[in-house]
Protein backbone atom coordinates (compact mmCIF):
# COMPACT_ATOMS: atom_id res chain seq x y z
CA UNK A 1 0.00 0.00 0.00
CA UNK A 2 1.27 3.49 -0.87
CA UNK A 3 1.42 6.45 1.51
CA UNK A 4 -1.15 9.22 1.42
CA UNK A 5 0.50 11.90 -0.78
CA UNK A 6 -1.29 14.62 1.16
CA UNK A 7 0.50 13.70 4.39
CA UNK A 8 4.06 12.36 4.31
CA UNK A 9 6.16 11.82 7.43
CA UNK A 10 9.93 11.42 7.29
CA UNK A 11 12.37 10.10 9.89
CA UNK A 12 14.88 12.58 11.35
CA UNK A 13 17.89 11.48 9.28
CA UNK A 14 16.03 12.08 6.02
CA UNK A 15 15.61 15.79 6.69
CA UNK A 16 18.39 16.73 9.09
CA UNK A 17 19.38 19.91 7.22
CA UNK A 18 16.11 20.90 5.59
CA UNK A 19 15.46 23.99 7.74
CA UNK A 20 19.13 25.07 8.08
CA UNK A 21 18.47 26.52 11.53
CA UNK A 22 21.60 26.31 13.72
CA UNK A 23 21.20 25.01 17.25
CA UNK A 24 18.34 22.61 16.56
CA UNK A 25 17.87 18.95 15.70
CA UNK A 26 14.89 17.70 13.73
CA UNK A 27 12.93 14.86 15.28
CA UNK A 28 10.09 14.41 12.78
CA UNK A 29 8.84 16.08 9.61
CA UNK A 30 5.31 15.89 8.25
CA UNK A 31 4.37 17.34 4.87
CA UNK A 32 0.81 18.14 3.80
CA UNK A 33 -0.58 19.75 0.67
CA UNK A 34 0.11 23.27 1.93
CA UNK A 35 2.40 23.01 4.95
CA UNK A 36 5.46 21.52 6.58
CA UNK A 37 5.05 20.50 10.24
CA UNK A 38 8.50 19.97 11.72
CA UNK A 39 9.18 18.84 15.28
CA UNK A 40 12.56 20.06 16.60
CA UNK A 41 14.49 20.45 19.84
CA UNK A 42 17.54 22.43 20.93
CA UNK A 43 20.94 20.76 20.71
CA UNK A 44 22.38 22.48 23.79
CA UNK A 45 19.62 23.68 26.11
CA UNK A 46 20.56 26.58 28.37
CA UNK A 47 19.84 26.18 32.08
CA UNK A 48 20.76 29.55 33.57
CA UNK A 49 18.11 31.14 35.76
CA UNK A 50 17.07 34.52 34.30
CA UNK A 51 16.04 35.74 37.76
CA UNK A 52 19.18 35.09 39.82
CA UNK A 53 21.64 33.88 37.15
CA UNK A 54 22.00 30.63 39.09
CA UNK A 55 23.16 27.49 37.30
CA UNK A 56 21.85 24.95 39.81
CA UNK A 57 18.73 24.14 37.81
CA UNK A 58 16.82 20.90 37.26
CA UNK A 59 14.41 19.75 34.60
CA UNK A 60 10.79 20.62 35.32
CA UNK A 61 8.87 19.23 32.36
CA UNK A 62 8.46 20.17 28.71
CA UNK A 63 6.13 22.31 26.63
CA UNK A 64 5.54 22.28 22.88
CA UNK A 65 5.78 25.70 21.24
CA UNK A 66 4.64 26.39 17.67
CA UNK A 67 7.05 28.77 15.93
CA UNK A 68 6.55 29.93 12.34
CA UNK A 69 9.48 29.93 9.92
CA UNK A 70 10.27 30.99 6.34
CA UNK A 71 8.10 29.40 3.64
CA UNK A 72 9.74 26.44 1.94
CA UNK A 73 8.97 25.06 -1.52
CA UNK A 74 5.89 27.29 -1.65
CA UNK A 75 4.54 25.85 1.59
CA UNK A 76 4.08 27.32 5.05
CA UNK A 77 6.43 26.06 7.76
CA UNK A 78 5.54 25.39 11.37
CA UNK A 79 8.29 24.42 13.82
CA UNK A 80 7.10 22.52 16.88
CA UNK A 81 9.80 23.07 19.48
CA UNK A 82 9.90 20.54 22.31
CA UNK A 83 11.04 23.19 24.80
CA UNK A 84 12.35 22.24 28.21
CA UNK A 85 11.21 23.84 31.45
CA UNK A 86 13.64 24.24 34.36
CA UNK A 87 13.41 25.06 38.05
CA UNK A 88 16.13 27.00 39.86
CA UNK A 89 17.25 25.37 43.09
CA UNK A 90 18.57 28.68 44.34
CA UNK A 91 15.49 30.93 44.07
CA UNK A 92 12.78 28.44 43.18
CA UNK A 93 11.77 30.21 39.96
CA UNK A 94 10.68 28.17 36.94
CA UNK A 95 11.63 29.20 33.43
CA UNK A 96 11.71 28.00 29.84
CA UNK A 97 15.00 27.32 28.11
CA UNK A 98 16.35 30.02 25.81
CA UNK A 99 15.44 29.31 22.19
CA UNK A 100 18.18 30.34 19.72
CA UNK A 101 17.14 32.16 16.53
CA UNK A 102 13.56 32.69 17.78
CA UNK A 103 12.22 36.25 17.78
CA UNK A 104 11.88 37.58 21.30
CA UNK A 105 8.55 39.31 20.67
CA UNK A 106 6.70 36.79 18.51
CA UNK A 107 6.32 33.08 17.96
CA UNK A 108 8.46 33.04 14.83
CA UNK A 109 12.10 32.75 13.86
CA UNK A 110 14.23 35.88 13.69
CA UNK A 111 14.92 35.28 10.01
CA UNK A 112 11.19 35.17 9.29
CA UNK A 113 10.63 38.47 11.10
CA UNK A 114 13.49 40.02 9.08
CA UNK A 115 11.98 38.65 5.87
CA UNK A 116 8.49 39.96 6.65
CA UNK A 117 9.65 43.57 7.17
CA UNK A 118 10.56 44.47 3.56
CA UNK A 119 7.87 42.18 2.17
CA UNK A 120 5.15 43.98 4.11
CA UNK A 121 5.92 47.14 2.13
CA UNK A 122 5.37 45.43 -1.22
CA UNK A 123 2.42 43.16 -0.53
CA UNK A 124 -0.71 43.63 1.56
CA UNK A 125 -0.60 42.53 5.19
CA UNK A 126 -3.35 39.99 4.52
CA UNK A 127 -1.52 38.33 1.62
CA UNK A 128 1.76 38.10 3.57
CA UNK A 129 -0.08 36.64 6.55
CA UNK A 130 -1.72 34.00 4.37
CA UNK A 131 1.63 33.17 2.79
CA UNK A 132 3.22 32.18 6.10
CA UNK A 133 0.21 31.27 8.24
CA UNK A 134 -0.04 34.16 10.72
CA UNK A 135 -2.65 36.86 11.28
CA UNK A 136 -2.87 40.17 9.46
CA UNK A 137 -2.36 41.92 12.80
CA UNK A 138 0.99 40.17 13.31
CA UNK A 139 2.20 41.38 9.91
CA UNK A 140 0.99 44.89 10.70
CA UNK A 141 2.98 44.95 13.95
CA UNK A 142 6.15 43.71 12.25
CA UNK A 143 5.73 46.29 9.48
CA UNK A 144 5.40 48.99 12.12
CA UNK A 145 8.64 47.89 13.80
CA UNK A 146 10.41 47.69 10.44
CA UNK A 147 9.33 51.19 9.44
CA UNK A 148 10.48 52.51 12.82
CA UNK A 149 13.88 50.94 12.17
CA UNK A 150 14.03 52.65 8.77
CA UNK A 151 13.14 55.96 10.43
CA UNK A 152 16.01 55.58 12.89
CA UNK A 153 18.46 54.78 10.10
CA UNK A 154 17.69 57.85 7.97
CA UNK A 155 18.29 61.49 8.68
CA UNK A 156 17.26 64.04 6.06
CA UNK A 157 19.03 67.37 6.11
CA UNK A 158 16.90 70.25 7.41
CA UNK A 159 16.58 72.64 4.44
CA UNK A 160 17.16 76.37 4.36
CA UNK A 161 14.32 76.70 1.85
CA UNK A 162 11.42 74.53 2.92
CA UNK A 163 8.25 73.86 0.98
CA UNK A 164 4.93 72.68 2.39
CA UNK A 165 2.79 71.20 -0.35
CA UNK A 166 0.17 68.48 -0.38
CA UNK A 167 -0.98 65.40 -2.22
CA UNK A 168 -4.28 63.54 -2.04
CA UNK A 169 -3.49 60.03 -0.89
CA UNK A 170 -6.04 57.40 0.16
CA UNK A 171 -8.78 60.00 -0.37
CA UNK A 172 -7.32 62.51 2.06
CA UNK A 173 -5.03 65.53 1.64
CA UNK A 174 -1.57 64.94 3.15
CA UNK A 175 1.09 67.56 3.73
CA UNK A 176 4.39 66.99 1.90
CA UNK A 177 7.52 68.63 3.30
CA UNK A 178 10.09 69.47 0.64
CA UNK A 179 13.59 70.84 0.23
CA UNK A 180 13.14 73.51 -2.44
CA UNK A 181 16.81 74.13 -3.14
CA UNK A 182 17.52 70.43 -3.74
CA UNK A 183 14.10 69.57 -5.26
CA UNK A 184 13.49 66.70 -2.85
CA UNK A 185 10.78 65.47 -0.48
CA UNK A 186 11.79 64.96 3.14
CA UNK A 187 8.56 63.88 4.82
CA UNK A 188 4.91 63.05 4.32
CA UNK A 189 2.47 63.86 7.12
CA UNK A 190 -0.82 62.05 7.87
CA UNK A 191 -2.88 65.20 7.25
CA UNK A 192 -2.49 68.91 6.60
CA UNK A 193 -3.84 70.16 9.93
CA UNK A 194 -2.07 72.75 12.03
CA UNK A 195 -1.38 70.26 14.83
CA UNK A 196 0.50 67.89 12.50
CA UNK A 197 2.56 70.74 11.04
CA UNK A 198 3.36 72.09 14.50
CA UNK A 199 4.43 68.67 15.75
CA UNK A 200 6.67 68.10 12.74
CA UNK A 201 8.36 71.50 12.84
CA UNK A 202 8.89 71.40 16.61
CA UNK A 203 10.66 68.03 16.35
CA UNK A 204 13.04 69.12 13.57
CA UNK A 205 16.72 69.18 14.38
CA UNK A 206 18.46 72.44 13.50
CA UNK A 207 15.17 74.09 12.62
CA UNK A 208 16.87 77.46 13.06
CA UNK A 209 18.53 76.76 9.67
CA UNK A 210 15.18 77.32 7.91
CA UNK A 211 15.16 80.79 6.37
CA UNK A 212 12.18 80.60 4.01
CA UNK A 213 9.03 78.48 3.82
CA UNK A 214 7.01 78.40 0.58
CA UNK A 215 3.44 77.14 0.79
CA UNK A 216 -0.06 77.09 -0.59
CA UNK A 217 -2.58 79.61 0.70
CA UNK A 218 -3.66 77.35 3.55
CA UNK A 219 -3.89 79.18 6.88
CA UNK A 220 -2.84 76.25 9.14
CA UNK A 221 0.51 76.08 7.30
CA UNK A 222 1.16 79.78 7.80
CA UNK A 223 0.07 79.85 11.44
CA UNK A 224 2.18 76.81 12.34
CA UNK A 225 5.28 78.30 10.71
CA UNK A 226 4.80 81.62 12.50
CA UNK A 227 4.54 79.83 15.86
CA UNK A 228 7.52 77.49 15.53
CA UNK A 229 9.74 79.41 13.07
CA UNK A 230 9.15 83.08 13.90
CA UNK A 231 12.30 84.19 12.05
CA UNK A 232 11.51 82.36 8.80
CA UNK A 233 9.97 84.21 5.86
CA UNK A 234 6.65 82.88 4.55
CA UNK A 235 6.20 82.94 0.77
CA UNK A 236 3.07 81.90 -1.09
CA UNK A 237 4.18 79.54 -3.83
CA UNK A 238 4.04 81.20 -7.25
CA UNK A 239 2.69 78.01 -8.83
CA UNK A 240 -0.41 77.96 -6.62
CA UNK A 241 -1.20 81.61 -7.32
CA UNK A 242 -0.84 81.29 -11.09
CA UNK A 243 -2.88 78.10 -11.08
CA UNK A 244 -5.83 80.16 -9.82
CA UNK A 245 -5.74 82.24 -13.01
CA UNK A 246 -6.14 79.14 -15.16
CA UNK A 247 -8.86 77.83 -12.86
CA UNK A 248 -10.76 81.12 -13.13
CA UNK A 249 -10.53 81.05 -16.91
CA UNK A 250 -11.70 77.42 -16.98
CA UNK A 251 -14.60 78.27 -14.69
CA UNK A 252 -15.78 80.99 -17.06
CA UNK A 253 -15.50 78.59 -20.00
CA UNK A 254 -17.57 76.00 -18.16
CA UNK A 255 -20.17 78.60 -17.19
CA UNK A 256 -20.55 79.52 -20.86
CA UNK A 257 -21.04 75.87 -21.81
CA UNK A 258 -23.81 75.67 -19.19
CA UNK A 259 -25.52 78.83 -20.41
CA UNK A 260 -29.26 78.47 -20.99
CA UNK A 261 -29.69 81.86 -22.59
CA UNK A 262 -27.70 81.25 -25.76
CA UNK A 263 -27.68 77.73 -27.22
CA UNK A 264 -25.28 78.72 -29.95
CA UNK A 265 -22.80 80.14 -27.44
CA UNK A 266 -23.17 77.06 -25.29
CA UNK A 267 -22.37 74.73 -28.19
CA UNK A 268 -19.31 76.76 -29.14
CA UNK A 269 -17.99 76.88 -25.59
CA UNK A 270 -18.51 73.16 -25.19
CA UNK A 271 -16.42 72.58 -28.30
CA UNK A 272 -13.49 74.42 -26.74
CA UNK A 273 -12.91 71.52 -24.35
CA UNK A 274 -10.69 69.59 -26.75
CA UNK A 275 -8.43 72.64 -27.15
CA UNK A 276 -8.57 73.76 -23.51
CA UNK A 277 -4.85 73.08 -23.03
CA UNK A 278 -4.07 75.91 -25.47
CA UNK A 279 -5.85 78.42 -23.26
CA UNK A 280 -3.66 77.41 -20.29
CA UNK A 281 -0.40 77.96 -22.15
CA UNK A 282 1.34 81.33 -22.07
CA UNK A 283 1.00 83.28 -25.29
CA UNK A 284 4.77 83.36 -25.68
CA UNK A 285 4.89 79.55 -25.56
CA UNK A 286 2.43 78.94 -28.42
CA UNK A 287 3.71 77.77 -31.78
CA UNK A 288 2.22 79.07 -35.05
CA UNK A 289 -0.41 76.33 -35.45
CA UNK A 290 -1.50 76.62 -31.83
CA UNK A 291 -1.76 80.39 -32.11
CA UNK A 292 -3.97 80.03 -35.20
CA UNK A 293 -6.36 77.66 -33.41
CA UNK A 294 -6.51 79.82 -30.30
CA UNK A 295 -7.13 83.03 -32.27
CA UNK A 296 -10.06 81.34 -33.96
CA UNK A 297 -11.68 80.51 -30.63
CA UNK A 298 -11.02 83.96 -29.16
CA UNK A 299 -12.70 85.69 -32.13
CA UNK A 300 -15.57 83.22 -32.11
CA UNK A 301 -16.32 83.61 -28.38
CA UNK A 302 -15.46 87.15 -27.24
CA UNK A 303 -16.38 86.37 -23.61
CA UNK A 304 -13.81 83.61 -23.54
CA UNK A 305 -11.31 85.87 -25.23
CA UNK A 306 -11.72 88.37 -22.40
CA UNK A 307 -11.11 85.63 -19.81
CA UNK A 308 -7.97 84.52 -21.64
CA UNK A 309 -6.64 88.09 -21.75
CA UNK A 310 -7.26 88.40 -18.00
CA UNK A 311 -5.35 85.18 -17.43
CA UNK A 312 -2.42 86.45 -19.49
CA UNK A 313 -2.54 89.79 -17.70
CA UNK A 314 -2.36 88.14 -14.30
CA UNK A 315 0.61 86.04 -15.39
CA UNK A 316 2.21 89.33 -16.33
CA UNK A 317 2.22 90.33 -12.66
CA UNK A 318 4.91 87.70 -12.10
CA UNK A 319 6.97 89.12 -14.96
CA UNK A 320 7.72 92.11 -12.73
CA UNK A 321 11.30 92.75 -11.63
CA UNK A 322 10.49 93.68 -8.06
CA UNK A 323 7.79 93.77 -5.40
CA UNK A 324 6.76 97.39 -6.07
CA UNK A 325 6.35 96.79 -9.80
CA UNK A 326 4.37 93.59 -9.13
CA UNK A 327 2.03 95.44 -6.79
CA UNK A 328 1.36 98.14 -9.38
CA UNK A 329 0.76 95.57 -12.10
CA UNK A 330 -1.78 93.81 -9.92
CA UNK A 331 -3.65 97.06 -9.17
CA UNK A 332 -3.95 97.76 -12.90
CA UNK A 333 -5.00 94.17 -13.60
CA UNK A 334 -7.66 94.05 -10.85
CA UNK A 335 -9.20 97.29 -12.14
CA UNK A 336 -9.46 95.75 -15.62
CA UNK A 337 -11.69 92.83 -14.59
CA UNK A 338 -15.10 93.53 -16.20
CA UNK A 339 -18.36 92.81 -14.33
CA UNK A 340 -19.17 89.78 -16.49
CA UNK A 341 -15.87 88.13 -15.42
CA UNK A 342 -15.99 89.24 -11.78
CA UNK A 343 -17.52 86.04 -10.44
CA UNK A 344 -15.06 83.70 -12.19
CA UNK A 345 -12.00 85.70 -11.10
CA UNK A 346 -13.22 86.53 -7.60
CA UNK A 347 -11.08 83.77 -5.96
CA UNK A 348 -7.92 85.55 -7.16
CA UNK A 349 -9.14 88.94 -5.93
CA UNK A 350 -10.00 87.49 -2.52
CA UNK A 351 -6.76 85.53 -2.21
CA UNK A 352 -4.69 88.60 -3.03
CA UNK A 353 -6.54 90.65 -0.45
CA UNK A 354 -5.95 88.03 2.27
CA UNK A 355 -2.40 87.01 1.37
CA UNK A 356 -0.86 90.04 -0.38
CA UNK A 357 2.29 90.37 1.81
CA UNK A 358 3.10 86.68 1.41
CA UNK A 359 2.37 86.67 -2.32
CA UNK A 360 4.62 89.69 -2.88
CA UNK A 361 7.33 88.13 -0.68
CA UNK A 362 8.12 85.95 -3.70
CA UNK A 363 9.80 88.95 -5.35
CA UNK A 364 12.19 89.25 -2.40
CA UNK A 365 12.97 85.53 -2.08
CA UNK A 366 12.39 84.10 -5.61
CA UNK A 367 11.53 80.78 -3.94
CA UNK A 368 9.06 78.43 -5.56
CA UNK A 369 8.24 74.75 -5.86
CA UNK A 370 10.20 73.75 -8.95
CA UNK A 371 9.11 70.11 -9.11
CA UNK A 372 5.32 70.27 -9.11
CA UNK A 373 5.13 67.94 -12.11
CA UNK A 374 7.17 65.36 -10.22
CA UNK A 375 4.73 65.70 -7.33
CA UNK A 376 1.83 65.14 -9.73
CA UNK A 377 3.55 62.01 -11.07
CA UNK A 378 3.95 60.78 -7.52
CA UNK A 379 0.25 61.33 -6.88
CA UNK A 380 -0.68 59.21 -9.89
CA UNK A 381 1.69 56.38 -8.97
CA UNK A 382 0.79 56.23 -5.28
CA UNK A 383 -2.94 56.33 -5.95
CA UNK A 384 -2.56 53.47 -8.39
CA UNK A 385 -0.64 51.32 -5.92
CA UNK A 386 -2.51 52.55 -2.83
CA UNK A 387 -5.26 49.95 -2.75
CA UNK A 388 -4.88 47.63 0.19
CA UNK A 389 -2.06 49.61 1.81
CA UNK A 390 -2.13 51.82 4.88
CA UNK A 391 -0.87 55.40 4.91
CA UNK A 392 2.08 54.30 7.05
CA UNK A 393 3.20 51.81 4.40
CA UNK A 394 2.74 54.22 1.50
CA UNK A 395 4.73 56.84 3.39
CA UNK A 396 7.53 54.32 3.88
CA UNK A 397 7.46 53.48 0.17
CA UNK A 398 7.82 57.17 -0.66
CA UNK A 399 10.59 57.94 1.83
CA UNK A 400 12.68 54.76 1.84
CA UNK A 401 12.74 53.37 -1.69
CA UNK A 402 16.20 52.22 -2.74
CA UNK A 403 18.17 54.44 -5.09
CA UNK A 404 15.98 57.55 -4.86
CA UNK A 405 17.79 59.63 -2.23
CA UNK A 406 19.83 62.66 -3.21
CA UNK A 407 23.09 62.52 -1.25
CA UNK A 408 26.45 64.21 -1.14
CA UNK A 409 29.65 63.84 0.84
CA UNK A 410 30.85 66.79 2.88
CA UNK A 411 34.55 67.19 3.59
CA UNK A 412 35.49 67.80 7.22
CA UNK A 413 36.36 71.32 8.25
CA UNK A 414 40.02 72.28 8.14
CA UNK A 415 41.55 71.85 11.56
CA UNK A 416 44.74 73.44 12.76
CA UNK A 417 47.26 70.77 13.77
CA UNK A 418 50.27 71.04 16.04
CA UNK A 419 53.64 71.45 14.35
CA UNK A 420 54.64 67.95 15.35
CA UNK A 421 51.95 66.53 13.11
CA UNK A 422 54.11 67.21 10.04
CA UNK A 423 56.27 64.25 11.01
CA UNK A 424 53.47 61.99 9.85
CA UNK A 425 53.59 63.28 6.26
CA UNK A 426 55.92 62.49 3.39
CA UNK A 427 57.33 65.91 2.69
CA UNK A 428 57.21 66.77 -1.00
CA UNK A 429 54.44 64.26 -1.66
CA UNK A 430 51.77 65.73 0.64
CA UNK A 431 50.47 62.24 1.36
CA UNK A 432 49.38 61.48 4.91
CA UNK A 433 50.57 58.28 6.51
CA UNK A 434 47.41 58.30 8.58
CA UNK A 435 43.99 58.72 6.99
CA UNK A 436 42.13 62.00 7.45
CA UNK A 437 38.78 62.20 9.16
CA UNK A 438 36.01 60.47 7.20
CA UNK A 439 33.71 62.56 5.07
CA UNK A 440 30.15 63.11 6.28
CA UNK A 441 27.25 61.97 4.13
CA UNK A 442 24.40 64.46 3.76
CA UNK A 443 21.01 63.12 2.67
CA UNK A 444 18.81 65.81 1.12
CA UNK A 445 15.75 63.58 0.76
CA UNK A 446 13.84 61.83 -2.00
CA UNK A 447 14.21 62.79 -5.64
CA UNK A 448 10.56 62.54 -6.71
CA UNK A 449 11.35 61.94 -10.37
CA UNK A 450 13.47 58.92 -9.50
CA UNK A 451 10.85 57.74 -7.03
CA UNK A 452 8.02 57.91 -9.56
CA UNK A 453 10.13 55.89 -12.01
CA UNK A 454 11.07 53.31 -9.37
CA UNK A 455 7.50 52.82 -8.14
CA UNK A 456 6.12 52.78 -11.67
CA UNK A 457 8.52 50.09 -12.89
CA UNK A 458 9.38 48.22 -9.70
CA UNK A 459 6.32 45.97 -9.58
CA UNK A 460 6.19 43.93 -6.39
CA UNK A 461 9.93 43.50 -6.02
CA UNK A 462 11.38 44.27 -2.63
CA UNK A 463 12.78 47.70 -3.36
CA UNK A 464 13.22 48.77 0.25
CA UNK A 465 16.51 48.36 2.02
CA UNK A 466 16.89 46.40 5.21
CA UNK A 467 17.82 48.74 8.07
CA UNK A 468 21.02 46.72 8.47
CA UNK A 469 22.07 47.66 4.94
CA UNK A 470 21.34 51.36 5.23
CA UNK A 471 23.98 53.92 5.97
Q: What is the pLDDT of residue 356?
A: 97
Which range has the worst mean pLDDT, 51-60, 109-118, 135-144? Answer: 51-60
Residue 321 included in any domain? yes
Question: Does position 151 have pLDDT exceeding 70, yes or no?
Answer: yes
Question: Does position 170 have pLDDT exceeding 90, yes or no?
Answer: no
Query: How many angstroms from the chain centroid is the CA of residue 448?
Result: 10
Residue 392 included in any domain? no
Q: How many domains does the chain have?
A: 2
Identity of the highest mean pLDDT range in 167-176, 191-200, 279-288 = 191-200
β-sheet bridge partners, residue 162: 179, 213
Residue 121 included in any domain? no
Range 191-206 average pLDDT: 96
What's the mean pLDDT when you consider all of the chain?
84
Identity of the highest mean pLDDT range in 134-138, 367-371, 406-410, 438-442 = 134-138
pLDDT band at 125 (very low <50, low <70, confident <90, very high): very high
If one counts every other C-beta atom within 10 angstroms of the C-beta of residue 32, the result is 14
Task: Report the share of the chain in percent with pLDDT over 90.
Answer: 50
Structural domain ending residue among the three candidates 344, 365, 386: 365
Residue 172 included in any domain? no
pTM of the model: 0.79
Which range has the worst mean pLDDT, 83-87, 224-228, 264-268? Answer: 264-268
pLDDT band at 3 (very low <50, low <70, confident <90, very high): very low
Residue 28 included in any domain? yes
Q: What is the pLDDT of residue 386?
A: 60
Range 446-450 average pLDDT: 85
Domain that holds residue 70: 1-102
Q: What is the pLDDT of residues 290-349, one digit of tens each?
A: 788 777 777 877 888 898 899 999 999 999 999 999 999 999 999 999 998 999 999 999
Residue 127 included in any domain? no
Question: Does position 431 have pLDDT exceeding 60, yes or no?
Answer: no
pLDDT band at 122 (very low <50, low <70, confident <90, very high): confident
Residue 211 included in any domain? no
H/E/C letters for each residue in the chain?
A: CCCCCCEEEECHHHCCCCCCCCCEEEEEEEEECCEEEEEEEECCCCCCCCCCCCCCEEEEEEEEEEEEEEEECCEEEEEEEEEEEEEECCCCCEEECCCCCECCCCCEEHHHHHHHHHHCCCCCHHHHHHHHCCCHHHHHHHHHHHHHHHHHHCCECCCCEEEEEEEEECCEEEEEEEECCCCEEEEECCCCCHHHHHHHHHHCCCHHHCCEEEECCCHHHHHHHHHHCCCCEEEECHHHHHHHHHHHHHHHHHHHHCCCCCHHHHHHHHHHHHHHHHHHCCHHHCCHHHHHHHHHHHHHCHHHHHHHHHHHHHHHHCCCCCHHHHHHHHHHHHHCCCHHHHHHHHHHHHHHHHHHHHHHCHHHHCCCCCCHHHHHHHHHHHHHHCCCCCHHHHHHHHHHECCCEEEEEECCCCCCCCHHHHHHEECCCCEECCCCCCCEEEEEEECHHHHHHHHHHCCCCCCECCHHHCC
Identity of the highest mean pLDDT range in 122-126, 204-208, 430-434 = 204-208
Question: Does position 282 have pLDDT exceeding 50, yes or no?
Answer: yes
Question: Does position 269 have pLDDT exceeding 80, yes or no?
Answer: no
Question: Does position 49 have pLDDT exceeding 50, yes or no?
Answer: yes
pLDDT band at 258 (very low <50, low <70, confident <90, very high): low
pLDDT band at 7 (very low <50, low <70, confident <90, very high): low
More confident call, 100 vs 279 = 100
β-sheet bridge partners, residue 220: none
Q: What is the pLDDT of residue 5?
A: 45
464, 405 Cβ separation under 8 angstroms? no
Residue 78 included in any domain? yes
Structural domain ending residue among the three candidates 102, 136, 166: 102
More confident call, 452 vs 226 = 226
Structural domain ending residue among the three candidates 60, 79, 102: 102
pLDDT band at 288 (very low <50, low <70, confident <90, very high): confident
Range 72-87 average pLDDT: 93
Question: Does position 372 have pLDDT exceeding 80, yes or no?
Answer: no
Q: What is the pLDDT of residue 252?
A: 85
Which range has the worst mean pLDDT, 47-51, 224-228, 271-275? Answer: 271-275
Amino acid sequence: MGENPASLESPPDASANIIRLPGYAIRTLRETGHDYHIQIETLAPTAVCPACQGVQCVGYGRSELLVHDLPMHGKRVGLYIDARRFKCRGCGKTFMESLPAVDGKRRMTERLAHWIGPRSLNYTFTSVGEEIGVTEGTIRNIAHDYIEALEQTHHFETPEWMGIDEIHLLRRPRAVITNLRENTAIDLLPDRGKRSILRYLAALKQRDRIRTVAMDMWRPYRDAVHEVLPDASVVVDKFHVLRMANQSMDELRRSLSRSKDADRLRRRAAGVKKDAYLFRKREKDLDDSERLILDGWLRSIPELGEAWRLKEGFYGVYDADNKKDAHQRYIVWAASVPPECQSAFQPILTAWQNWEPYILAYFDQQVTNAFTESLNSLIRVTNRMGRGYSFEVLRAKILFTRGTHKKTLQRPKFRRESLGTTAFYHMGMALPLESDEDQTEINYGVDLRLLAEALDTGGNDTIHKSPRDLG
